[in-house]
A and B are shown apart, each in its own frame.
Chain A
Amino acid sequence: MSDTIDEKIKNYRTAPFDARFPNTNQTRNCYQNYLDFHRCNKALSAKDQDTAPCDWYQRVYKSLCPVSWVTKWDDQLEAGSFAGKI
């Protein structure tokens, strides 16, 4: 499983179609992948596993989200004021 994820990350071009978000408004797609990246990091490091597979979510949200949102959320995370459940 991790081999195919590494392969997928290596061959990454853009965010693939996600059936959960089929419409034009991809806001939730961006936010969900941002959350999933941080949740994945938290879960895998709690189990002492390599967090490299989580990079898939990072590539996806970097493709989808506006840069200003990402920097804003990162700043909020550092300050501890991020509103999402991670």
Chain B
Amino acid sequence: MLGIIAKQLKSHPALIPLFIFIGGGAAMSITYLSRLALRNPDVSWDRKNNPEPWNNMKPDQQYKLFAVNMDYSKLKKEGPDF
């Protein structure tokens, strides 16, 4: 399979940028999907030991990339402990 591709690339070298761009796009989407799957606090992989991972965040932890008009340093936990 790779041998066939290499032979085709040698005879049509203009195909190389195509592979680069499609490979780059696939890599980017895979990394974003895995980042979402592993880092997103809304996702719960282990329902027995970690059923609500969004509750493990600190009250002043910033999850968004750009938070406009929100001073995260002043936030505290609101509700009572139980």
Interface set of A (CB-CB < 8 Å, partner B): 1-2, 5, 8, 16-23, 28, 32-33, 36, 39-40, 43-44, 53-54, 56-57, 60, 85
Contact = CB atoms under 8 A, between A and B. Distances in A.
Given A20-B41, A44-B82, 8 more contacts: A1-B80, A8-B78, A16-B78, A19-B58, A19-B63, A20-B63, A53-B82, A60-B79
Interface of B: 41-42, 51-52, 54-55, 57-64, 67, 70, 72, 75, 78-82
Nearest to A18: B78
Contact of B57 (A8, A17, A19, A43): A19
Contact of B54 (A28, A36, A57): A28
